[in-house]
Amino acid sequence: METQLDPSKDDLPLMANTSHMLMKHYVLDLDVDFKSQIIEGSIVLFFETGSSCRKVGSSVERACHPRSDETFKIQAFELCHIPVTNASACSSKTGYNDFAVCGKGEKDTSDKNGNHSNRAQASGISSSKKCCDIENHGSEDFLLVLDCCDLCVLKVEEVDVAAVPDRWEEQLYYYTCCSQAPGCGELLFTTSTWSLEIRKAGIRIPRDFPRAIRICYKTKPEGRSVTWTTDQSGRPCVYTMGSPLNNRALFPCQEPPVAMSTWQATVRAATGFVVLMSGENSAEPIQLQEGIFSWNYYVTMPMPASTFTIAVGCWIEVKRESLATEVMTNDVISLPFSKADFRLVEGGCGHLESPCRFQNPGATSQPVIPHRVFAPWCLKDLCAEILLELIPQCLSAAHATLGTHPFSRLDVLIVPSNFSSLGMASPHIIFLSQSVLPGGSHLCGTRLCHEIAHAWFGLAIGARDWTEEWISEGFATHLEDVFWAAAQQQLPCHEAREQQELKALLRWRRLRDEVQNSEEELQVLRPKKENTGETSESGASIIKHGLKAEKIFMQVHYLKGNFLLRSLARRIGEATYFTFLRKFVQKFHGQLILSQDFLYMLLEDIPEQKGYGLSVESIFQNWLDTSGIPKPLLEESRTWKEGRLAQQVTAEVAKWIQVNRRAKKGSKRKRGQDEVAFQKEFQSKIMSRLCTALHRHLLPDQLVLLLESLLEEKTLCPRTLQCLEKTYRLQEQDAEVRHRWCELVVKHKYAAGYSAVEKFLWEDQAMGVYLYGELMVNEDAKQQELAHKCFAAAREQMDMSSAKVVAEMLF
């Protein structure tokens, strides 16, 4: 596989041979050490193979169990008290589980990168093709290939286990017992840049390979799956940041989404640290010894390994001060949809066998799931003011739109300022950037709605091929608007529609700019076209441009995907469209899909659309398989500028242009006078009157459009910019508005605003990357000095992809 990579295009390999063996469960046992910035421990992988391997995309329905959250609360409590019985497993450097040290008394066989291997014993292992002829039962040993990088693998061994029972109420307990069973022989292994390759001497076919293996390993401080940093209160923390590598630098795994598995984890950390994970249970810490606490989480819904998330830090749980504000928790938001749309799934579910909330009447009728908020101490009050009110409103709006929440609970964490995105959703947990908090509820509410939407699209329903990012991001962007409109219960329907039209105009402008300034190859939503979903015989594949640093900042999959869904909803009729969408969720939750799965079901469910020329082929041609702006979108976009809210902004822009002309004329007339005297006279007489006349309450999105429009002006004089800032109190607005203000400051070299730019680049790193480029492009010495100063201060803590992009701009 590695010989097929194209380093110049930053391709990402998925090396795991999932066609031969599939992971069905994994058990993590980890210690978090902030002094060394290393996570160390073991992972036990449980496999299925041969005829038991799952067929992805199959329409065969399997039985699932109604989900009883109380059952699993009891079971989780039992898991916390299972005694450790294994005396031959991996080491635990803190010494509280009596495990023997791996390799004690043996020669250190680690390579220069810290990897250990049985390389001498496993000589001749170079590729899965050479070592395993599956069809012909060849003479070479079968080779299990796992996705792995930036890890120091210490030992791999077979685990002596009995069969795990089918009952889910018992499985977690028995998986725990099995994971702590003694080893029964070391396995041969070797590591490469992207993989961990394991074999057992004499085993020729997957069916005979061990059903469970234990891998002892430790992460590296420079590993790209987690980031070690400090929070906004200056305390150490570590978290998974949604790297393009996903979790392969956190634990060896099968990265392809087809490898859907359940998991459980025990994580130990020092006193004062809180461990949050993407688990079903709200874990309570157990003290193991003085200064050490253990946290236990689990998941019984099979999910790809890429969805696993962990965050360890000195987080504070943000709680309500009184019960007076709990009213919204039980409020139900009403939408004009039939209650029949929310009935239980008939005839069972189509996903892998597991407990299912869609079969549980209690879950189906639950508009707001239990939720908690965690943050650094210094942001506690701001979170209490903003987030605690918004979460139940947004959850209820999501339930009113799509029905049953796929997950039983939700944690929301405000992550450190070096987080490279405004938000990231994982099962049972959402990361939010601190950038969403200031400036009122608009940005925070819309982003929260976006991440909540991922519970359905991106998590409960995932893309079978990672190149189809639009299935996750396009749906979440589209549903973000729908959820937010419903969450604002006091907003009349016509006003909600006007705001959505304004948002569409802003997104259209952003898509237009991105298409003009990006590679055509990166603008295609289905880049593999008719080969989408295909893998090699072993199951391995390559994600083109998967490691390209600039790609993670692109919005094309969000925007084009949103516009496609918006277009379908308008053409079909919103009521009909959302009725269908709920049917789609009922059918495909817990499964992986391709674009055609959604489109074929849509056209089959609403056959009259075929008479209007709407077909899967035409949607592929116009929207998914080509670069640039889709032709249908060009026609629709012309109407958005005519909306009432957009027209208000147009009028406001014209006034500011007039103000700027007067300011320039006044400056020319007074050129020979004392500048200080003129400035005082001008500001007190003319500008104050103009600013007062211009003062209008604008919505956040209107302010964004206003500033974007003024960015198109060739010059704005300092006095105009000063008046603009004071009129709209731009420093008090949300991050989207402040970002546009910083762009204006940079373009017009407004020195009085440089402090705002510096603050933005430090506190809003999720949005500030391209401001560095704008500071450099003007070739202004002061601006370039500012860019270098800000980067020097932030570089050590900055996300790796962000740092790479900025470094290319500066150097």
Catalytic residues: 451
The string over 198-218, giving b where at least 16 C-beta atoms fall within 10 Å of a residue's C-beta and e elsewhere, is: bbbeebbbbeebbbbbbbbbb
In one-letter notation, the amino acid at residue 52 is S
Cβ atoms 250, 225 nearer than 8 A: yes
DSSP β-bridge partners for residue 191: 196
Name the residue among 309, 313, 457, 440 with its Cα closest to residue 387: 440
Burial group, residue 279, by CB count within 10 angstroms (0-12, 13-18, 19+): buried
SS3 of 285-350: the string is CEEEECCEEEEEEEEEEEEEHHHCCEEEECCEEECCCCHHHHHHHHCCCCCCCCHHHHCCCCCCEC
What distance in Å separates the CA atoms of residue 520 and residue 227, rounded to the nearest whole number?
A: 32
Q: How far apart are CA 325 and CA 317, in angstroms?
A: 17
Query: Are 705 and 506 contacting, i.e. CB atoms less than 8 angstroms apart?
Result: yes
The DSSP string of 431-478 is EE-GGGSSS-SHHHHHHHHHHHHTTTBTTTEEESSTT-THHHHHHHHH
How many CA atoms does the CB half-sphere of 72 hold within 13 Å?
27
Phi, psi (rounded to 5 degrees) for 390: -80, -40
Residues across the chain: 811
* Tokens, residue 101: 């040290």
Tokens of 319: 């709680």
Q: Give yes or no for a contact between 330 and 285, defined as CB atoms under 8 angstroms apart.
A: no
Task: Tell me the β-bridge partners of 45.
Answer: 26, 213
Backbone angles phi, psi at 134, to 5 degrees: -60, -45
Query: Rounded to whole angstroms, how far apart are CA atoms 581 and 402?
Result: 7
- DSSP of 161-230: -PPPPS-HHHHHHHHHHHHTSPEEEE-EEEE-SSEEEEE-TT--SGGGS-SEEEEEEEE-TT-SSEEEEE
Tokens of 3: 């010989």
- What's the N-to-C CA distance of the chain in angstroms? 33
What is the phi/psi pair of residue 436, to 5°?
-80, -10
The values of phi and psi at residue 300, to 5°, are: -110, 0
